[in-house]
Amino acid sequence: MTQAMADLYDISSIQEAKPYLEKVDQNSLVLFDVDYVLTQPSEPSFQMKNIRLYKEIWKDITGNLSTLENNISSTLIAISSPSILIENKMISVINTLNERKIKVLALTGILTGKLGKIQSIEKWRYNTLKKLGFVFSSSFDKISDATFSSLPSCRGNYPVFYKGVLFSNGDANKVEKGRILRAFLALLKEKYNWSPTFILFIDDRENNLKDIEAVCASFTPPIQFTGLLYKGARDYPSIPVDEKDFKSKWEIIIAKTKAMAIQKHQEGQKK
């Protein structure tokens, strides 16, 4: 375990998060990213180990995507094959936090609304996590599902809170997770008179951790923050794929992405 910056640390497994998780109390909020932290696609071409192996090919295919296309492609990858666990221990860690009455949320950058054959990404994500054994709904079970229509939309949909999962509705702009968390904390303060004094966030992207760190620092008094940069997906024993198959799988996703983006643009012009 190495320190990357003040209050932000690298971890390669959830076991390395144990010292930080032991320090949280009932005034804390623990946030878990979903993709490449809790779960990943079962298709090996979309797993981090193979993406890193064919990094240059991946860059060539995805390097020129727009913000909208990046958001669509990330969601398409997540739903393209059944989700699988990265670490089985993640389930028991979250169960233990629930038993300790620690407030826990999933914070995901995935889109909301309908995409392809899935009528509601929110319901799909919740049901997928539940099927795998993750329970996030108990911490804020008295809070109704909420749509944050004051925040910017993407594809005509907004960030939402759904059964213990916060959806930023895309994170290609690198700032959406902080924005939805700020809105959710304002909701908690207004309706339930509760604010965390400490936030622990586990994510696989450093920019997301810095974003949440900045949000915590902006409060008066500041919310204490620790970010854990999770690298466990990189070490997952993915099935090797050859270069041709890897490229083909990604080209199919990007072709679908561009078609969906064009369709959304055309629909916007008709309005």
**Peptide bond between residue 221 and the one before it cis (omega within 30 degrees of 0):** yes
**Which residue is associated with the tokens 């919310």?**
223
- Dist CA 72 CA 66 (whole Å): 10
* Tens of pLDDT, residue by residue, the chain (271 residues): 444 445 899 999 999 999 999 999 999 999 999 999 999 999 999 999 999 999 999 999 999 999 999 999 999 999 999 999 999 999 999 999 999 999 999 999 999 999 999 999 999 999 999 999 999 999 998 888 999 999 999 999 999 999 999 999 998 766 689 999 999 999 999 988 999 999 999 999 999 999 999 999 999 999 999 999 999 999 999 999 999 999 999 999 999 999 999 887 666 555 5
- Dist CA 218 CA 271 (whole Å): 38
Query: Residue 241's domain is classified under what CATH number?
Result: 3.40.50.1000
231: number of CA atoms within 13 Å, CB side?
11
Indicate the number of domains in the chain: 1
* Domain span including residue 113: 2-270
User: In the 8-state DSSP scheme, what is residue 10?
Assistant: E
Name the residue among 257, 265, 248, 258 with its Cα closest to residue 58.
Answer: 248
Phi and psi at residue 106, to the nearest 5°:
-95, 135
Contacts of 204 (CB under 8 A, 6+ apart): 33, 35, 36, 37, 229, 230, 231, 233
- Dist CA 109 CA 168 (whole Å): 5
Q: What is the 3-state secondary structure (H, E, C) of 206-248?
A: HHHHHHHHHHHHCCCCCCEEEEEEECHHHHCCCCCCCHHHHHH
